[in-house]
Chains A and B, each alone.
Chain A
Amino acid sequence: AQTVTQSQPEMSVQEAETVTLSCTYDTSESDYYLFWYKQPPSRQMILVIRQEAYKQQNATENRFSVNFQKAAKSFSLKISDSQLGDAAMYFCAYRSAMAGGGADGLTFGKGTHLIIQP
């Protein structure tokens, strides 16, 4: 079974600065997807960014980028120019691309609470 570990329960950053959230995972599979989700107090999970394991190039989405190190099984999220609206819980998640029968539910880490200080 796959596991996802987020070792930072809480992170704090000044508005307009850069912050990096850490995530490591454990899997024996060679093909999979990794995601970062944002969960504000409204509880709705919002996809921030995704990375396909077969792609060497790190994904970027505007102010959000990842550092994907496949050999180290590390998948960190960098948020540049932090904004007050970025404050939320951030979850790292793993999805198998090899499970039989189409089973592709997400395995989540415990989350990192991101605080943005004005």
Chain B
Amino acid sequence: EAGVAQSPRYKIIEKRQSVAFWCNPISGHATLYWYQQILGQGPKLLIQFQNNGVVDDSQLPKDRFSAERLKGVDSTLKIQPAKLEDSAVYLCASSLVGPTEAFFGQGTRLTVV
């Protein structure tokens, strides 16, 4: 069974530029999460989708971050414009609906200079 796929693995951009990350969840997983993991900290939930609807985006900085999940499958997370403090690993995870295991991708390491 293929796991959660994320791209790119690494990205370096200058502050004020835009960047987008892509996630392809495990086939059949209705729930998709995006987490931000700053160096030295645990991941923090940014947004949760169920199918193509948003379930929780209470911690998403909506002035610069946006996310969508097209047709309830793939998802993209965008930052525009990026700030230095956005440097982090962005993890995508997916799961079946309900209290089941969430499977994580390998993440995208973003460096903003």
A: residues with CB less than 8 A from B are 4, 33, 42-47, 50, 52, 91, 93, 95, 97, 99, 101-111
Contacts and interface: CB of A to CB of B under 8 A. Distances in A.
A57 B72 CA distance: 37
Nearest to B89: A43
B99 A104 contact: yes
Given A43-B107, A45-B91, A103-B55, A110 B40 contact: yes
B56 interface: yes
Nearest to A44: B106
Contact of B43 (A42, A45, A46, A99): A45
A110 B93 CA distance: 18
Interface of B: 31, 33, 35, 40-45, 48, 50, 55-56, 89, 91, 93, 97, 99, 101-102, 104-107, 109
B55 A101 contact: yes
15 contacts: A43-B107, A44-B105, A45-B43, A45-B93, A46-B104, A47-B101, A50-B101, A52-B99, A91-B42, A102-B55, A104-B48, A105-B35, A105-B48, A108-B42, A108-B44
Contacts of B33: 105-106
Contacts of B105: 44
A27 to B, nearest CB: 15
Given A103-B48, A104-B99, A110-B42, 15 more contacts: A4-B42, A33-B99, A43-B109, A44-B105, A44-B106, A44-B107, A45-B43, A46-B104, A47-B102, A101-B55, A102-B97, A104-B31, A106-B102, A108-B43, A109-B42
